[in-house]
Amino acid sequence: MTLTGDEQAMLEGREGRARQKAMELLVRYAEALGAERFVDTTNVAGVPGSVTPFLQRYYRDRGASYETIFSLFDLDSDEVVEVPRMTTHACHLQGGVDPENWQTLGAKPEMLEAIRASERSAADRDIRILKTCTPYLAGNVPSRGEHCAWMESSAVVYCNSVLGARTNTEGRESTSAAMLTGKIPDWGLHRDENRLGSHRIEVEVDVQSVMDWGMLGYFVGEIVQERIPVLTGRLGRPDLVRYKHFGAAAASSGGVELYHLVGITPEAPTCEAAFGSTRPVETLKYGEAERRRTYDALNANGKDSHVDYVMLGCPHASLEQLREISAWLEGKRISAHCHLWVFTSRAVRARADQEGCTRIIRDAGGHLLTDTCSAIGQAIPPGTKVAALDSAKQVHYLPAMMGIEAWFGSTRECIDAALTGRWNGTPP
Ligand code: F3S
């Protein structure tokens, strides 16, 4: 690899032991990828030094302190080093438990205390504690072309496709090292030639609602897996929520990190621009039959029409979504046989508190929760057998993780299920 002067200085330890360990890890990582140099990154999103029950047990004999976990686990160091303030703009993504509603989520007090201590240690090192999978809804909006290093597949695909910023799907280790050094391998989606489309998808049915966009994303991800789809046809103009559901679904059924919507997303003003000099490896259509197959696949796991849990907010709900949910719930009461949990970020929750959305959801018998979600926190109401979900991503993960049935439908259908305790969803 070719290293610049500042990179060499870090590698030789002239910027301290932590940056040396971080640079050693990044060089090993870059060499494994075949990268020849680093790019400077100005925006890193990860879970630096974050404590989990497993890590707490694993490092118990070493004290399981913030520096222990950061050094031995994140930096793969064989010694505990002093972790200084971060070099570059750094934020903390979703965590394990809502600190205000931890009892609802069934968390143990000792775990809550460990998470709080870890969070304080991160904040002391200039890491912004956003605790969300939607950092772009909580004040972290990178600019077009900006080199980022982000974890969280739904955030990565939004960052690349909607904002036109550049990141690969990084891991905990590489993001923690990038926060300390401001460097990430110049590889994959940081490079122009790797951002061109591979598959052309002709959309032959109207794609308008959030549910439509989620199903289309799920279909596309399954088809292209980790490559780059270019979509044309009967696409309505997506808003932030539709982008969020489309990308999260495509990143779950496949591993889509970047997509192009012709005439809509920033790197695809035309089909020619989206493909550059390459030709599509395949052209596929998304019509009535494909839409119905996707709907059936997402509902394959739903059998019992009695619903005892409704989860909304995957990816974390925007303020607009919370306004809509609370408008539907105002003056109503959730079925005594059903639970409603809605997940969002702390930043959006603060605004929802001010606007009265939180109170309306609570008065109806639901909970507005932050920091985590049922899949990440592996938390569902006790006794849950059947869930209703409006997120294709959550349908992809939650039933398998928690051994429950799940229905997929629109947010409105999920709210109806919460109010009646029964699933009455229908195909679009
Ligand atoms: Fe976020 Fe959980 Fe979905 S962390 S993207 S709400 S699986």
- Ligand 1, atom nearest to 133 Cα: 1
What do you get for the CA distance between the two ends of the chain, in Å? Answer: 53
Question: 373 CA distance to ligand 1 centroid (A)?
Answer: 6
Residue to mutate (ligand 1; options 136, 246, 343; most atoms within 8 A of CB): 343
- Pairwise CA distance, residues 6 & 216, whole Å: 45
Candidate of 376, 396, 408 to mutate for ligand 1, largest count of ligand atoms within 8 Å of Cβ: 376
CA distances from 37 to 40, 86, 88 (A): 10, 21, 18
- Give the position, in ligand 1's atom list, of the atom nearest the Cα of 372: 4
CA of 317 to the centre of ligand 1 (A): 10
**Do residues 201 and 220 make contact, with C-beta atoms less than 8 angstroms apart?**
yes
- Would the CB of 314 count as within 6 Å of ligand 1? yes
Report yes or no on whether pTM surpasses 0.95.
Answer: yes
CB 421 within 8 A of CB 338: yes
Contact 222, 201 (CB under 8 A): no
Please list, in sequence order, all residues whose beta carbon lies within 8 angstroms of the beta carbon of residue 210, skipping any fewer than 6 positions away. 241, 242, 245, 390, 410, 411
Residue 399 preceded by cis peptide, ω within 30: no
Q: Look-up: residue for tokens 């808003």? A: 239
Contact 371, 133 (CB under 8 A): no
Closest residue (by CA) to atom 4 of ligand 1?
Answer: 133
Domains of the chain by start residue, with CATH: 5-192 (3.30.499), 196-297 (no CATH), 301-420 (3.30.499.10)
Cβ–ligand 1 contact at 375 (below 6 Å): yes
* Nearest atom within ligand 1 for CA of residue 153: 5
CA of 275 to the centre of ligand 1 (A): 31
The span from the CA of 342 to the CA of 325, in Å, is: 9
Atom number in ligand 1 closest to CA 94? 4
pLDDT on residue 88: 97
Q: In the prediction, which pLDDT does 96 show?
A: 84
At 195-252, the pLDDT tens digits run 999 999 999 999 999 999 999 999 999 999 999 999 999 999 999 999 999 999 999 9
pLDDT at 239: 98
Burial of residue 242 (number of CB atoms within 10 Å: 0-12, 13-18, 19+): buried
Residue 154 near ligand 1, beta carbon < 6 Å: yes
Count the neighbouring beta carbons within 10 Å of the beta carbon of residue 272: 10
Q: Which atom of ligand 1 is the closest one to the Cα of 397?
A: 7
Task: Identify the segments of the chain with pLDDT beneath 70.
Answer: none
In Å, what is the CA distance from 355 to each residue of 240, 348, 350? 20, 11, 9
**Residue 40: helix, strand or coil by DSSP?**
strand
Which atom of ligand 1 is least distant from the CA of 375?
7
Q: Rounded to whole angstroms, how far apart are CA atoms 215 and 245? A: 9
What is the length of the chain?
428
Give the integer Cα–Cα distance in Å for 307 and 304.
8
